[in-house]
Structure 1
Amino acid sequence: MEDESKENSCTSSLCCISHHPGFRGSIKNSTADFVVIEINLNNQLVNVAHLLPKVCTQQSEHSGQCLGDKSEEKTVKPLNNMPNTGGEIQMAPYTSEPCDSADMTVASEESLDLDFILDTSVNEELIQFAMITRLCEDTSEKCSSAELSLGSYPDRNQRASVHRAVRQRFPFLMTMTKGSEILVKEDRHYKELCRLVSEEESEDFFRFLDAKVQDATFTFKPDDDKEHRKAVHHFVSKHFGKLVETKSFTAVDSGGQQKASITVRFRERNKPSKKRKAADTQEDDVIYTGFTLQKENLETLEAISYLAKALGVLPSDFTYAGIKDKRAITYQSMVVKKVSPERLRQMSAEFQKKGIHIHHIHPVSQPLRLGRLKGNHFDIIVRDVRAHSGDCTSDLKQLVQEALDNVKAKGFVNYYGPQRFGTAQSVQADQIGLALLKEEMVMAVKLFFTPEEGSDPQNKAKQHFLQTEDAKESLALMPEHKVRERLMLRALNRYGVGQEGCTRGWLSIPHSMRVFYVHAYCSRVWNEAVAFRLRQFGDRVVKGDLVWSTLEDKEGSKPSLCQVHTVSAEEEAEHIYKLHQVVLPMPGNTIKYPDNKVGIWYRERFAKDGLQSCRFRVTPLKLNIPGCYRALLSYPRKVTHHILEDSVGAMNEETPEQGSQTCGQSLSPLSLSLSFDLDPSCYATVYLREIMKCDP
């Protein structure tokens, strides 16, 4: 691990983790040099036209969940001849009433075959998860709260078949539906029943419950212990009493002895009321449309503001999985509420004038959620590649290859990139976030309206507001597409520019935009905490560090079953953990801090910023910041590169002459073409910085 210094031309005080010379170069000479494509949970690029599942194209009149809903994606296979299960399966697996007899057709063998229903990789994940769950004897939250997502299943019948197939194969697991995503976790009721009867009986009983065959019965093995039978009765009644009923009866066995048994049968189904709640009707009327947003030289929030204005909806009606770079060509999934697919298609030509292209328009059933993506794919051109410090004898190809190999093996420090805070801005987003956390609403508004360099209309409007505090006149000067600023000014004009008026002003902009500024502050603190930790301890894992404690996982990947653990002195001495397992907390009200100098640093930093008593809740703005843990290191995936000679075009990376530049030679400028994938919330500029040993 090494500190950055002036020698390697890094302008920040952040740290690197690998040792290699690096090289110079520049990025974002044009937007076409920096292309970002979101990767959905299915590991597919969202700009690929064939992503729309057949079920959506064949049933476009339904609000099926398709490409673009980042909250609900994994590879699924189409199902044929799927049984009709008669309804949506809700969160609790066995509390819904049994289906009509017509809907209780016994599932075909094919429809219960997980190898047929699930994609191979998903099926393997499920088998591994089931094995871990079955072997886990821990009764704590560690095992019982672990979840596995099987992905998105837009068609309701398809979801029902997946539910049934999983629970028939693994009756000790429960399946849940969130929107169109299916989650799997341990069934606590199964474990409880196993304490009363054998595992074989428990499995058969839960399969009986799941089948919901109306006239079927299930009988436990004969039991002479009255108290034990009473416990079984109580268990069934407590957890499944609305669905089934139990009764004890006595029978004579082959030896002439009377033995009592418990029989379970489904209750008769009551006819549902024909009355519908108003809320149900309103929910049916909600329209969600998913699409892929392609933008160029626009911030995500700026693009949303423009789309909202053009479509006549609020910016808060748009949901997305993540924010993408401004100075780039980016592709990302998005969902808009209250806009039909037809309306969106009609407006597509108008959006193109702003550098916005809309693709893969389709109906979906619900909005997106932040973070529901696999990562991002990058295609980047680094221009004018050359060695550091005027070294004209370096083999450029060797410099690049060494840098890429080093970072592939060791990873890179997982800093938040400069775009998180606002590049080239006089007031950065984290400064506004700090003011909001301190509930200094007036100061936050002044920072929000601090103009940048230049005399464009929005800067003139901002300057006018700071000089006059006349929100009405400033609103007239503010361009129409600056939706956030106009919403704020409209509220300030109505409620005034005092503490209450400024609070109302912040409440007038969408929650996702308000919380963005607070997250920017937390990200700044995280960056500085990591730099401090690396300077203090280097690449050693020391007592008090926080680490992922989980089943062994390969380097760089996010653990699926994890909890945060504080490293002990014994674990430090025995080198139990590696640096890639270390996490640092993003500030919030639900996390713990390292029990070493890093934890002290956090407390001192908060005190310095006036946040000693901050609970990371801004009640007036309805903001709650729970915090999270972020891995100290990240690892690139699928890295490929080529050396390009700008005047000629691409050169084969195996060509030996491509990388040599000597002082006496006059060669065409060389560029590096890089393609790679990164995990969500990882920054390509940070990865490039680790490779190049300078700010690109």
Structure 2
Amino acid sequence: MKQDSDAANVPACFISKHEGFLGRIKHFIKDFVVTEIDVTGQRVNTAAASQTPACASSHQNSETSVEFKENSHFSVSQDTDDSADCGEDVTTPSPGTFDLSVILGQSVSEELEQFVLTLKDEKPTKQELSLGCFTDKHHRANVHRAVRHRFPFLMTVTIQPEIRVREDPDYRELSQLVTEDEAEDFFRFIDAKVRGSSYTFGPDDNKEHRTAVHHFLSRRFGKLVETKSFSDQGTTAISVRLREQGRPKKRTTEERKEEDVYTAFILCKENLETLEAISYMAAILGVLPSDFTYAGIKDKRAITYQSMVVKKVSPLRLKEKTAEFEKRGMSLSQIHAVGEPLRLGRLQGNHFDLVVRDLRPHGASDTHSSGADTHTRLETLVKEAVENVEARGFVNYYGPQRFGSGQSVQSDCVGLALIKADMVGAVRLFFTPEEGDDPQSHAKRHFLQTDNAKESLALMPLSKARERLMLRALNRYGTGPDGCAQAWLSLPHSMRVFYPHAYCSRVWNEAVAHRLTTLGHRARRGDLVWTQEKLEDTGETSLPQIHVVTDQEEQEGVYTLGQVLLPMPGNTVKYPENAMGTWFQERLARDGLEECRFRVTSLKLNLPGCYRPLLAFPRNMRYQLKRAACGEAGGGGGEVTANSSRRSDGRLNGTAGEGKQDSPALTLNFDLDSSCYATICLREIMKCDP
């Protein structure tokens, strides 16, 4: 097991007192396999279990990337309270668009940026720019959507197969009636085509001006929208609603036919983040990343199986692209049509198939014996450890990946700055480079030294979607407080909220360690637990409620440690009514959050908090200890590119040593609830940091 800076992410506090052992995880890519368990309790790859995953031996290309971008400003009549379930690391991607430098090419993208600058003059222009010829109809449709989303003031025109752009005269006319930001947001609202949604302009108490806006919208968009003025708390504003049968302008027949098509599939990916895999697939299929839905995020450094649904893509077209996906470390199976997207959180948990290599007792040297005495000793250690964790569980810490494993500045530090609305500080922390002079660190260092976002964007690798989105916004809006806020808003909600959640997760980890150290391993007065009551009328049980453990319940041992909850900080949670309540107050005050409402209105972030069980328990656990020559039990695998974080012999970079012939290996198989970390379970079993 490695002992590095990642260990500082998780406090050293355990439940069981067994000795544990040392070993290496993720030495080979096949050593860590994660399979999603659906809401029926079935592993999603059951039907394809006999297939050899193409993703286990395929190439991947880190130079192709898709960027996400959210319509951050427009308001909709649906629920806009950006609360997120902290039980998931990342929420569903918001409406996004591709990095134009990828979809158009770097030179054409730069030409487009220059063309846009020429349109900033006050005088209208009839200039046009050719973006090139696109023979594939899906590619053309994607270019139209991507360009209009990035530049709402542009009109895209197809003269097959060429696509041209010019200024949209409707946009210029509207921007003379309302602010430029409102005009941009309105045009994004029109293109977003969210059924039942509405857009509201800013307060406007000038009746003549409102009339002019009404007339313009009626004249130019009357078949698509209806408008009305309404008063609220003494101010009047114009609200625009999409008509039920209306369709946004510039939509093609091809887009309309594909709009309501949903295709489900099982994605097997290797050494890829979930959002990175979605980016690749979206680029190949010519759709937006937001057209993909999934139940949960999966590990990067692993082979993972998970359910997904893609919108606007038929099963036949998806099957036609599977060969291209396999080149990128992805394999698709069980492809079939469905009637709706997948919802985040619709899973029971995950199944893990793990291999721990080069086992040895704590305190043993790397040059260990393979004799019978050593093997017998390890058998005893492993049996005791697995049985203890199976019976007593493990501390339900958030794993190191929650905080940005290996980064110079942890994600929770960025999150704290965002919660305190320190936009500039958060941006500078975000762009803190790693040691070394890799392209990403070089681009970050250049930005911090020069404050020149445009030059830094040119240096930033195309695969770094978040960094490029931020730099593009900083170049457009400046690097002051308002510009930095716009930079954060350029990220979809799922990416923005990750950082504040990382901070809250850090506090939770510290809280559970303090709770166990000071109050012990029993349920205490003032602790929080879930309770359910039986309804007298129906005999059914009520919804779970938070209950505060009483002194009598503590004395009688009514509740166990496994039932105790700790709150994730937020604006809707109850804190324990014992010493832990005071601890939370003091801990948040230490970071200047004593009066924090856990809302960042300017970034549309709301952190309601949640309750997380103090302990987690593996289910269906099995293990086997055996002598395995290096390469067995999940070794090897195909060759990958030099940019991959996996070597051509199947080993992951960063694993110490080369393994030894006849070295003991432990295979572990178990299930965990969603949002529980297998590496933390292994940590309790082995009594060292993964």
Contact 1:469 1:497 in 2 (8 A): yes
* TM-score, scaled relative to structure 1: 0.60
Q: How does 1:229-378 map to 2 (within 5 A)?
A: 277-278=245-246, 285-378=259-352
Equivalent residue for 2:21? 23
User: How big is the shift at 1:571?
Assistant: 1.4
The structure-2 alpha-carbon separation of the partners of 1:285 and 1:367, relative to structure 1 and needing over 3 Å to count, comes to same
Contact 1:309 1:481 in 2 (8 A): no
Equivalent residue for 2:617? 635
Letter in 1 for 2:494: S
Equivalent residue for 2:398? 416
Equivalent residue for 1:565? 547
Contact 1:43 1:374 in 2 (8 A): yes
Is 1:594 matched up with 2:576?
Answer: yes
Aligned structure 1 segments of 4 or more residues deviating by more than 4 angstroms: 9-12, 279-284, 391-394, 648-651
Tell me, in whole angstroms, the C-alpha distance in 1 between the residues paired with 2:431 and 2:630.
47
Tell me, in whole angstroms, the C-alpha distance in 2 between the residues paired with 1:428 and 1:315.
26
Contact 2:14 2:394 in 1 (8 A): yes
Letter in 2 for 1:278: G
Contact 1:306 1:481 in 2 (8 A): no
Is 1:501 matched up with 2:475?
Answer: no
Counterpart of 1:43 (choices 19, 23, 41) is 41
Is 1:481 matched up with 2:463?
Answer: yes
Tell me, in whole angstroms, the C-alpha distance in 1 between the residues paired with 2:350 and 2:565.
21
Q: Which has the larger radius of gyration?
A: 1
Is 1:671 matched up with 2:665?
Answer: yes
Tell me, in whole angstroms, the C-alpha distance in 1 between the residues paired with 2:28 and 2:601.
42
Letter in 2 for 1:320: Y
Contact 2:621 2:669 in 1 (8 A): yes
Q: Secondary structure at the match of 2:331?
A: strand
User: Please, what is the CA RMSD of the aligned residues?
Assistant: 3.0
Which stretch of the first structure deviates more once superposed, 454-463 or 421-430? Answer: 454-463
User: How big is the shift at 1:48?
Assistant: 2.7
Contact 1:315 1:510 in 2 (8 A): no
Contact 1:546 1:584 in 2 (8 A): yes
Q: Secondary structure at the match of 2:497?
A: helix
Equivalent residue for 2:408? 426
Equivalent residue for 1:690? 684
Letter in 2 for 1:695: D
Q: How does 1:608-647 map to 2 (within 5 A)?
A: 608-647=590-629
Identity %: 62
Equivalent residue for 2:353? 379
Unmatched 5+ residue regions in structure 1?
Answer: 52-274, 553-558, 652-665
User: How big is the shift at 1:412?
Assistant: 0.8
Contact 1:305 1:481 in 2 (8 A): no
Q: Secondary structure at the match of 1:390?
A: coil
Tell me, in whole angstroms, the C-alpha distance in 1 between the residues paired with 2:259 and 2:281.
22
Cα offsets for 1:138-174 (capped at 9, x unmatched): xxxxxxxxxxxxxxxxxxxxxxxxxxxxxxxxxxxxx
The structure-2 alpha-carbon separation of the partners of 1:39 and 1:358, relative to structure 1 and needing over 3 Å to count, comes to same
The structure-2 alpha-carbon separation of the partners of 1:343 and 1:474, relative to structure 1 and needing over 3 Å to count, comes to farther
Tell me, in whole angstroms, the C-alpha distance in 2 between the residues paired with 1:586 and 1:359.
37
Q: Secondary structure at the match of 2:530?
A: strand
The structure-2 alpha-carbon separation of the partners of 1:483 and 1:13, relative to structure 1 and needing over 3 Å to count, comes to closer
Where relative contact order (Cα < 8 A, 6+ residues apart) is larger, the structure is 2
Which stretch of the first structure deviates more once superposed, 509-518 or 587-596? Answer: 509-518
User: How big is the shift at 1:347?
Assistant: 3.1
Q: Secondary structure at the match of 1:688?
A: helix
The structure-2 alpha-carbon separation of the partners of 1:478 and 1:587, relative to structure 1 and needing over 3 Å to count, comes to same
Cα offsets for 1:300-343 (capped at 9, x unmatched): 23323333344444433333222211211111222333444344
Counterpart of 2:495 (choices 502, 513, 519) is 513
Letter in 2 for 1:523: S
Q: Secondary structure at the match of 2:670?
A: strand
Tell me, in whole angstroms, the C-alpha distance in 1 between the residues paired with 2:316 and 2:482.
42
Q: Secondary structure at the match of 2:512?
A: helix
Unmatched 5+ residue regions in structure 2?
Answer: 50-242, 249-254, 535-540, 634-659
Tell me, in whole angstroms, the C-alpha distance in 2 between the residues paired with 1:600 and 1:21.
34
Letter in 2 for 1:300: T
User: How big is the shift at 1:498?
Assistant: 1.5
Tell me, in whole angstroms, the C-alpha distance in 2 between the residues paired with 1:505 and 1:11.
27
Tell me, in whole angstroms, the C-alpha distance in 2 between the residues paired with 1:20 and 1:612.
40
Contact 2:10 2:397 in 1 (8 A): no
Equivalent residue for 1:582? 564
Letter in 2 for 1:686: I
